[in-house]
Structure 1
Amino acid sequence: MLLLLLSGCGAGGPLDPMDAFLEATPQMGVPPVLLVPEDDPRPWPMDPWTFRSHALDGDTLTLSIRYGGGCRVHRFALLVDPSFRESHPVQAAARLAHDADGDMCRALISEDLQFDLGPLRRHYQAAYGAGPGAIDLVLAGRRITWEF
């Protein structure tokens, strides 16, 4: 299960885009995918992680990953470029933002992260019309074919 922490800065605004995401995400439930262009200038944290496997269940994507750490809480957000690459099915570039919070511990952590792909489905349907569709999510060099 993905653990989300809320934090902010004393000036009243978020410290970084990950904080803004976490402040806008309910504490319970599956966090939504974020539609963020690949060239977004905000400093999304990109600490290392390893892709193990994935599973799809309706609009929910589960990513099984590994990363080093064990002493601090790690935070994740799934970012997907809203510009579809035309192919069959269309492709969407994805990246997993990972904030390790400076965790220097050396344990190998395995975790299953879940994300709600509903915002991506609605974005697709706004561009291509309602009805069934498919998207190849390209994440860490792998294609995840999602049919809905």
Structure 2
Amino acid sequence: MTDPNSHRTGQPEADALLDRADTERRAVAELVTINHAEDLVTHVRQADLAAEHQALHERYEQAEAELAAATASGDPARIAGARRVRDEASATCDRAGRTLREELAGLAEAGLRAHRRVAGEDAHRLADRGHRTQGAPAQHPGCRPARRRR
């Protein structure tokens, strides 16, 4: 294992900057790790929702095929039963499908917000670092402070 102080210069000001850079690198690495974990969970949930939606669609298609077969047979009782099953499958597909699509849209929006948040924090850190090295105020007037995760 390498010594964590091996990249130190022995100059207090330079070492303080190196310490700050190390702290910022760890903070960014933590954000990236959390974001990656959230992405994995989101992708698994999206796959589950897509599978549920596909199953709903397949049930509807099966009911539609049964109605076509019943219609071809000409049996009124079979046609009525198949029509009822098809209508129930259609209603379920509409109702549950809408809920599934809304959740998918919510997951997509949450993912975009998370990526913007991480990108914004990284950009803010870079802008903040650039302004400090130029002797400017610590925060650019156009930058907002990054929000901290709780």
Q: TM-score with structure 1 length normalisation?
A: 0.20
Q: Name the one with the larger strand percent.
A: 1
Q: TM-score with structure 2 length normalisation?
A: 0.19
Structure number with greater CO (CA < 8 Å, separation at least 6) is: 1
Q: Name the one with the larger helix percent.
A: 2
- Higher-Rg structure is 2
